[in-house]
A = this chain, B = another copy of it.
Amino acid sequence: MASALRVLGVDPGLTRCGVGVIDVAPNRAASLVHVGVVRSSPDLPIERRLKAIAEGIRAVLDEHRPHVVAVERVFAQNNRHSVMGTAQASGIALLLAAEHGVPAHTHTPSEVKAAISGYGSADKRQVQTMVARVLRLDALPQPADAADALALALCHAWRSGGTATGGGAVTSLTPAQRAWADAEKLARR
């Protein structure tokens, strides 16, 4: 895949930060490059947790050199106790993209669901199943954070029309419709 777009997806988190790298060809076929989870111990002070997350993401950027980084957009309305740590981890991911000279984009959970499964209120399992199918994986990516990172990367590649800067392809289908059609086509191969 010489002309593939390489996307790093980041599902931000302090305890588990999902990272997934995929290559997406101009014909939208996607393949897995790397998937993993960067962890930090809840016993560490917050600044050292963020440093551990930064080191993990930086290692992936250095090794896999993505063209673009896609990060889940975090909302304050999300009342989980961990939302501030999640926001901080997302800030780290965005900062590291900029420091590597790579553009970054954020996508909401509904955008990811719509891009991957065809509609915005799909459940997690459905999204994971589609991710595994599209990437031709034998099993669902584990843990969920890793699958979510891959879903983000796929979402970005499809929504952006396969460019690092994000200009969409001209088409009469909505991005979700296109994604759905393409994923189905891929799944039937």
A contact residues vs B (CB 8 Å cutoff): 45-48, 50-51, 54, 69, 74-76, 78-79, 83-84, 87-92, 94-95, 97-99, 103-104, 106
Q: Interface SS of chain A: helix, strand, loop or mixed?
A: helix
Contact indicator B103/A50 (Cβ below 8 Å)? no
- How many copies make up the complex? 2
Instruction: Find the B residue at minimum CB distance from A94.
Output: B47
Q: Select which of B84, B94, B104 is within 8 A of A75 by beta carbon.
A: B84
- Chain B nearest CB from A182 CB (Å) reads 27
Q: Select which of B45, B83, B95 is within 8 A of A51 by beta carbon.
A: B95
Give 13 A-B contacts (CB < 8 Å), ordered by A residue: A45-B103, A45-B104, A46-B104, A50-B91, A50-B94, A51-B95, A51-B98, A54-B95, A74-B84, A87-B87, A87-B88, A91-B92, A95-B95
A79 to B95, CA, bound (A): 24
Chain B residues whose C-beta falls within 8 Å of the C-beta of A69 in the assembled complex: 47
